[in-house]
Amino acid sequence: MSRFAPLPAVQPRSASYIAPSSRRGLAALRRSFGLGSSALTFGIPQIDALTDGFARGALHEIIGEQAAVSGFLAALLGRDRRRAQILWVTAGGSLHAPTLGQLGLDHRRLTVVSTPRVSDRCAAAEQAMSPLGYGAVVAEIEYADSEIAQRLQDAASRHSAIAFLVRQDRPQPSLAATRWSVQSASSDGFRPCWQVTLEAFDGSAVHGAWLVEWDHSTGSFRLVA
């Protein structure tokens, strides 16, 4: 039996919701005053300039095959200077903490919850950002309706957490701050490589595609020429 309570009834739009235009405006305002972003970034200016990174207090959608997405998120979350605690909610996939550690994610920051029920995965992710105080959540929900996306967005917004919704479908419009597609790509055998595509930003369809690799020696992403 799951120790997480079911999701309460969703409200049409809670007071904690941050409109897309507001998110874009806040990022621009911070830059205009020379304030550093608290967002989680690639560390690659050509990509980060488009979205100001993966903002805290927001939902970000990642679409792709589990192995590729898991590796990419491990590398990305490993870059978090705040070293926030992470809850990773899965339906029972093949997450392996030592493997994620090779991509820079300290296993001591990671808690994994595995449950086949979508309602339990939603509840675990939402509660992790509120009473449990996790700074980042990864929720693997292959087909998520607008209620699920809105609940995760609201929870992230209320508690300044980063929420990643790993999904397979592409509902329009996206309720997330950003939507990305991540696919494994050919590498030199030493550095993991991904084709990363930005599909939506602040509810608007956009397109930007990059080939990025993870450099173990520097703990950073870099563009592949």
Tell me if 26 is assigned to some domain.
no
Tell me if 30 is assigned to some domain.
no
Pick from 85, 20, 83, 78: which is nearest to 52 by CA?
20
Tell me if 193 is assigned to some domain.
yes
The overall longest dimension of the chain from CA atoms, in Å, is: 50
Strand locations in the chain, DSSP E?
58-63, 86-90, 110-114, 136-140, 162-167, 178-184, 193-201, 204-215, 220-223
Determine the structural domain holding residue 65 and report its residue range: 40-223
Q: Structural domain tally of the chain?
A: 1
CA–CA dist 129, 153 (Å, integer):
10
Tell me if 18 is assigned to some domain.
no
CATH of the domain at 185: 3.40.50.300
For 6-25, what is the mean pLDDT?
A: 39
Least confident of 125-129, 186-190, 200-204: 186-190
Tell me if 120 is assigned to some domain.
yes
Check pLDDT > 80 for residue 191: yes
Tell me if 68 is assigned to some domain.
yes
Tell me if 4 is assigned to some domain.
no
Per-residue pLDDT of 59-107, as tens digits, reads: 999 999 989 999 999 999 999 988 899 999 999 866 877 788 889 999 9
Tell me if 121 is assigned to some domain.
yes
